[in-house]
Amino acid sequence: MLKELEILVLRNNSLSGELPPHWKDLQQLLVLDFTENNISGNVPSSMRHLGSLRILALRQNHLEGELPSFFRNYINLQSLDLGGNKFSGMLPAWIGESLSSLLRLSLRSNLFHGDIPQQLCLLSHLRILDLAHNDFFGAIPQCLGNLSSYYKEKNLSYTDDQMLLVSEGREYLYGSSIIDLVYYVDLSSNNLSGEIPDSITNISKLAILNLSMNHLTGRIPEKIGNLHMLESLDLSVNELYGPIPESLSSLNFLSHLNLSFNNLSGKFQMGINFKHLMTLLSTEDKIAVFIIDKIVHLLKKFKSERS
């Protein structure tokens, strides 16, 4: 029964309990989507038989435990979305070593910890990497720029695919027609330290980069302007210092820039593109900028009067 089933989509329901224990007869399954339900427990071991999977989406449930080691057998997997669960443990190196076809990897809002393994850089097809809101620590792998090394147009054939991405502090649900065009790295809200690797500026098609809410130090890479397609850059709430690179002013598509709560210094050269950036702010944002500017002016005035 159902041995020829290729697509199973049950997202956005009120399904509860654990995932079914019997999957052996569904070895032709290409798409499995249980997104946004109330499913709990561990991933059943019988899912090891789903070696034909291209898309596995279990986002926004209550699943727990470590990533099953049999996931490494999903060698055809192109999209893995496990965000918004309670998965824990360290990120295994086999994700990079075995899942070489991955285009999208989202593990955001789980309980993962430890270093981000260097082997993740082997995913040369990867367009979306979302590890935000976990407890990863240590340095960002220097080889992260390898994610740009293979740009062959390789899209998923399933037209009802969806993925949740966060940009400018807002959640957006992208459909398959858009998601295949997005290049996205979000490592925000972890405990990452060390410097931002210069190699990240090699991901030339990157549209969204969020490294906020970590403990990153050092300077913003001088070649950040190489990310010509960048639309959103958030490096806020870190320990970055030094000047803001002039190359930022060459980012013609940049509409969201947040460098707040760092130790940056020097003059900020607002070129024509930054003036364009200001025109894209909402009315509320412009008011907030105006108020902050006035507060800073008053504080400087108060300080000069006291001295």
Phi, psi of 178 (to 5 degrees): -100, -40
What is the pLDDT at residue 146?
81
Q: Is pLDDT at 168 greater than 80 in this prediction? A: no
The SS3 of residue 72 is: helix
Confidence at residue 180, expressed as pLDDT on a 0 to 100 scale: 59
Q: What is the DSSP string of 153-216?
A: ----S-TT-EEEEEETTEEEEEEHHHHTT--EEE--SSEEEEEPPGGGGG-TT--EEE--SSEE
Q: Which tokens hold the place of 211?
A: 């490294």
Q: Is the pLDDT of residue 204 over 50?
A: yes
> Are residues 78 and 102 in contact, defined by beta-carbon separation less than 8 angstroms?
yes
Quote the radius of gyration of the chain (alpha carbons, Å). Answer: 21
What pTM was estimated for this model as a whole? 0.84
Q: What is the pLDDT of residue 276?
A: 52
∠ CA 15-18-19, rounded to 5° = 85
Would you say residue 223 has pLDDT above 60?
A: yes
For the chain, give the percent of residues with pLDDT over 90. Answer: 67
Q: Is 80 exceeded by the pLDDT of residue 184?
A: yes
Task: Kindly tell me the sign of the dihedral angle through the C-alpha atoms of 58, 59, 61, 63.
Answer: positive
Average pLDDT, the chain: 84
Tens-digit pLDDT profile for residues 257-292: 999 999 998 876 655 455 455 444 433 444 444 444
Helix, coil or strand: residue 10? coil
